[in-house]
Structure 1
Amino acid sequence: MEGIEHRIVEVNGIKMHIAEKGKEGPVVLFLHGFPELWYSWRHQIAALGSLGYRAVAPDLRGYGDTEAPSSISSYTIFHLVGDIVALIDSLGVEQVFLVAHDWGAIIGWNLCLFRPERVKAYVCLSVPYLPRNPKIKPVDAMRAVFGDDYYVCRFQEPGKTEAEFAKSPELVMKAMLTGRSGKPLIIPKEGFLAFPEAIKSRPLPSWLSQQDINYYASKFEETGFTGGLNYYRNFNLNWELTAAWTGAQIKVPVKFITGDLDLVYLSFGSKQYIESGNFKKDVPNLEEVVIQEGVAHFNNQEAAEEISNHIYEFIKMY
């Protein structure tokens, strides 16, 4: 895309691919989710890079043109946050404006928890802060509520989901990006791609092109999905590793944005968590919550211009 440059940096023992626009100005660092890439932020990189900011978006560990260690245990939250701290160091700055979505949002919350001095302000999309419940491991809790066919539970078995997804990365990306049910993501016994014709015949929304899907698919055809799936396989281990932060608050300034059709907002208890005031208790500098009407999970792509404007209006105050 015009004006976006690409390079490889060494961070935390791996080679990481980053896309960036803008040579000077405050750094805005974008973290993508699953199953995505730096490309998920293409619109925001262009917008913020044109407004005097240095917009930077990596392919996270295990994704795209960034290295993918083979061990599942190389994808703990400490590895993921460590990558981002090293990336910030490599950019030659002390602090960044952080913008993150989905799994990137989880990494973002933990960066704010572990190293708040590195974040000026945080614009978080889709996934609110998930405070550690000391009484139950997260995958165990999800299995108890949603059952064994819940996608996070199904992702736990090494090799199985990636083998299915490898059959057609294009269909996986189309199904994921265009899903709008708002219900918990249940993978049927027949598999995620059990009904390919239904996915193929689904029309693309105006904000998503076949070219976009092809870009994602081409990268996952090269790398497979194992890296991204390994993030989910460390949920319970992360719970053990972060015991010391039980009850800790997020102290950086935060703006949270989600769509009212987002499956995370509707099925994780997120709506109740936000409306009850508990979100604000855990994140006392939560400055604003934006609920976008008629928008689903991938709001940074579906409502790209609106998201770019929200980011700019928030970070320009700092």
Structure 2
Amino acid sequence: MRTRLIKTDGLVQQVLEGGFENDNAPLVLLIHGFPELAISWRAQVQALGAAGYHAVAPDMRGYGGTDKPEGAAAYSILNLVGDMVDLVRALGKTSCVVVGHDWGAPVAWHCALLRPDVFRAVAGLSVPFQPRRTKGPPTAAMAAITKRAGLGDLYIVRFQAADAHRALEADPATTLRKLFYAYDGATPAARKSTGFMPEGVALLDTIADDATLPPWMGADHFEEYVQAFSSGGFSGPLNWYRALDLNWSQTAFLQDQRITPPALFVVGQDDPVRHYAGGAEAGLKDWALGLTRSVVVPGAGHWIQQERADEVNALLLAFLGGLPAKPSSQAQGLG
């Protein structure tokens, strides 16, 4: 594996890659979520590279070693998909398979939705495709629904505040330790985060102060996260959430459009994100028309590609192995 910087249109992206020695290796992009980095895919980059694929995991826009534009408008879903199209071209390929986890899953789904000519297959981990709603922007609806149900505030709504990142930046190590703990499969159910919090209570205050690192998270690996978020902050990552209503306004042209490339969905049985995104799992086959498998991993939590690396690797390799032969890897056609 290696890490390098790649200049794309208007953005410098830092990537972790494996299998780069073979120019003809099929490209697989691995898109991380919040609060993650390219290194969350280290086990997959290694396994896919060893299996003959060119596996590339970028630090996404606003994260790690990649550029961090100012303002929420720079983090719309169209920007994020565009970054991946640009990265495919910069890597000298015309097509790839795209895999996303957490926030990376909606990006991956939209890659396949918007550019099926480039993204020939898609796998989403933890978060199913959620189609655009017709009744207006999502954040006000989220707030109304949760309050009506007596659930308090969903963290996604709290993240809309312009200064929401400051509480997370006060002590990045504590923030990351608590978030990784609260969404991990090994954490007792009563101590997991539901994503909801009482009015006036901060997200981090809903997670126990004695939260420990998950079993799969070594001290050195954790320190990589701490250093990256101490340096880069949480403003860029939270701008992904702050662009949700902008995404709604910019994607009317996608209303009712279906995802046509072959697709895979994998989720941990005990993933707390299912409390608020799980409702879309049952209908996924109606929106991802090429869905080949929908897998629930027993006992797994949210950080599934790190918690259950071997199982995820096996699922991805089986999915990749069942795809039609890739088209030519030469770069014409993406100019």
* Coarse TM-score class (shorter-chain normalised): over 0.9
Kindly provide the amino acid, as one letter, of the partner of residue 176 in structure 1. Answer: L
Partner of 2:102: 102
- CA 1:146/1:12 → structure 2, altered by over 3 Å: closer, same or farther? farther
Q: TM-score scaled by structure 1?
A: 0.92
The equivalent residue for 1:10 is 7
Q: Structure 1: how far apart are the matches of 2:206 and 2:292?
A: 43
Q: CA deviation at 1:178?
A: 1.5
Q: Spell out the pairing of 1:85-164 with structure 2 (5 A cutoff).
A: 85-147=85-147, 149-159=153-163, 161-164=164-167
Q: Which whole-Å deviations, capped at 9, do the CAs of 1:72-97 have from their partners, x for residues lacking one?
A: 21111111111110000001111111
Preserved contact between residue 16 and residue 58 of structure 2 (Cα < 8 Å): yes
Cα separation, 2, equivalents of 1:75 and 1:62: 8
Partner in structure 1 of residue 326 of structure 2: none
The answer to whether the 8 Å contact 2:81/2:110 transfers is yes
Tell me, what secondary structure is at the counterpart of 2:311?
Answer: helix
Q: Which amino acid aligns with 2:82?
A: G
1:75 is aligned to 75
Instruction: Select between 14-23 and 55-64 the one with higher mean Cα deviation.
Output: 14-23
Normalised by the length of structure 2, the TM-score is: 0.88
Quote how far apart the aligned CAs of 1:210 are: 2.1
- Distance, in Å, in 2 between the alignment partners of 1:212 and 1:309 is 23
**Coordinate RMSD, CA, aligned:** 1.6
Report what 1:184 is aligned to.
194
Quick one: distance in 1 between partners of 2:70 and 2:275?
34
Could you tell me how far 1:38 is from its partner in structure 2? 0.2
Equivalent AA in structure 2 for residue 78 of structure 1: L
Q: CA deviation at 1:7?
A: 1.1
Do 2:112 and 2:120's aligned partners in 1 also have CA atoms closer than 8 Å?
Answer: no
Determine the structure 1 residue equivalent to 2:186.
none
The match for 2:260 is 251
Partner of 1:193: 204
Match of 1:310 in 2: 315
Deviations 1:277-299 (CA, angstroms, capped at 9, x unpaired): x2211111111000011111110
- 1:162 aligned partner, one-letter code: H
Q: Does the 8 Å contact 2:259/2:287 carry over to 1?
A: yes
Alpha-carbon offset, residue 195 of structure 1: 7.3
Kindly indicate whether residue 284 of structure 2 is the aligned counterpart of residue 279 of structure 1. Answer: yes
Unaligned runs of 5+ in 1: none
How big is each residue's C-alpha offset from its partner over 1:223-280, in whole Å with a ceiling of 9 and x where there is no partner? 1000010000010110010001110000010010001111222333x2x4433xx221
Task: Give the percent of matched residue pairs that are identical in Structure 1 and Structure 2.
Answer: 35
SS in 2 for 1:193: helix
Cα 1:274–1:195, aligned 2, differ >3 Å: closer, same or farther? closer
Q: Could you say what secondary structure the match of 1:251 adopts?
A: strand
Distance 1:183 1:168, change over 3 A: closer
Q: Which secondary structure does the structure 2 equivalent of 1:88 belong to? A: helix
The answer to whether the Cα contact below 8 Å between 1:183 and 1:266 also exists between their aligned partners in 2 is no
Provide Cα deviations, 1:118-177, integer angstroms capped at 9, x if missing partner. 112112101111101111321122112224621011000112x21111111111111111
- Cα deviations across residues 100-131 of structure 1 (Å, max 9, x unaligned)? 10111111111111101111211210111110
Further displaced range: 86-95 or 7-16: 7-16
2:180 and 2:213 in contact (8 A); partners too: no
Q: Which residue of 2 aligns with 1:288?
A: 293
